[in-house]
Chains A and B, each alone.
Chain A
Amino acid sequence: MWIYEKKLQYPVRVSTCNPMLARFLIEQYGGADGELSAALRYLNQRYSIPDEVIGLLTDIGTEEFAHLEMIATMVYKLTKDATPDQMKAAGLGDHYVNHDNALFYHNASGVPWTASYIQAKGDPIADLYEDIAAEEKARATYQWIIDMSDDPDLNDGLRFLREREVVHSQRFREAVEILKEERDKKKYF
């Protein structure tokens, strides 16, 4: 089971109301390489992965939900005081007619989240390589958002999230090595 903790993993601050930045950030909420995809991908792969890496998938998958909450907090703070006119000017008119200022799982272009963003192949190496690629793609996305953002407070939180992708990628690479070692042991002894 999961226990919610009433705290953000890392403090989230934004300088000003900025629905345009919120629109870009939604990519990491309901986009292909976003935090929802990450959490659901890893937690779903756990059931068929070798025992050696179930703990890692559980813990990284759980941390991704904390990241999802940070992104939601950023979007909430960037849009909570926005008027319909400001939403429209930021390109969020299409979002506003359907959701008002509510959050929704879609990407920066408004395409709703789909399970086809993620995979579970049942082959541990294939799954872990997908996970490494997912972390690298998420890291790159954070970088592109930081490059477009002029909000220093927001960027502090985004840099934290970008660094987490680097650590997750590293841990998944180590998991691949652990599985290869196990496989080689079985072959020769």
Chain B
Amino acid sequence: MSQHQLPQEFYPLMEELQAVDFVLVELTLYLDTHPNDTAAIQQFNEMAYYRHQLVPQIEQYYGPLQQFGNSYSGYPWNWNQSPWPWQL
């Protein structure tokens, strides 16, 4: 299967999303055991907002990051477009 050529701009954006999501995973697990930490919740919501800004920028190069309707599709259906994460 031929792989879709990704532009250089894609790579720093994907790393940025991995970094943002790392903060979100860490805050999620922390809040699971510290549910009353207001400052952490504020940081969580700020990062969640930033994530929502970042995702469409990545999807314009890479196609949908999620499916079942969590991302819009291009035409033709571009969910199955390579490279998949382990092929990057």
Give residues in A with beta carbon < 8 Å to B.
3-12, 53, 55-56, 59-60, 63, 69, 72-73, 76-77, 167-168, 171, 174-175, 178
Contact = CB atoms under 8 A, between A and B. Distances in A.
Interface string B44-88: 000000000000000000111111101000000000000011101
State the majority secondary structure of interface residues on B.
Answer: helix
State the majority secondary structure of interface residues on A.
Answer: helix
A9 B23 CA distance: 11
A9 B62 CA distance: 16
B62 to A, nearest CB: 7
A54 to B, nearest CB: 9
B66 A56 contact: no
B25 interface: yes
Interface of B: 14-15, 17-18, 21-22, 25-26, 28-30, 32-34, 62-68, 70, 84-86, 88
Contact of B85 (A6, A56, A168, A178): A6
Given A8-B85, A10-B22, 19 more contacts: A3-B66, A3-B68, A4-B66, A5-B66, A6-B65, A6-B84, A7-B17, A7-B85, A9-B21, A10-B18, A11-B15, A53-B32, A59-B25, A59-B28, A167-B29, A168-B29, A171-B33, A174-B33, A174-B34
A178 to B, nearest CB: 6
Contacts of B62: 6
Nearest to A57: B32
A60 B26 CA distance: 10
Contacts of A8: 18, 85-86, 88
Nearest to B31: A55
Contacts of A53: 32
B33 A175 contact: yes
Given A56-B33, A73-B86, A174-B33, A9 B18 contact: yes
A73 B85 contact: yes
Contacts of B70: 3
A50 to B, nearest CB: 13
B60 to A, nearest CB: 14
A12 B88 CA distance: 9
Most buried by A among B30, B32, B65, B84: B32
A178 B32 CA distance: 11
Given A3-B70, A7-B14, A55-B32, A72 B86 contact: yes
Most buried by A among B14, B25, B29, B88: B29
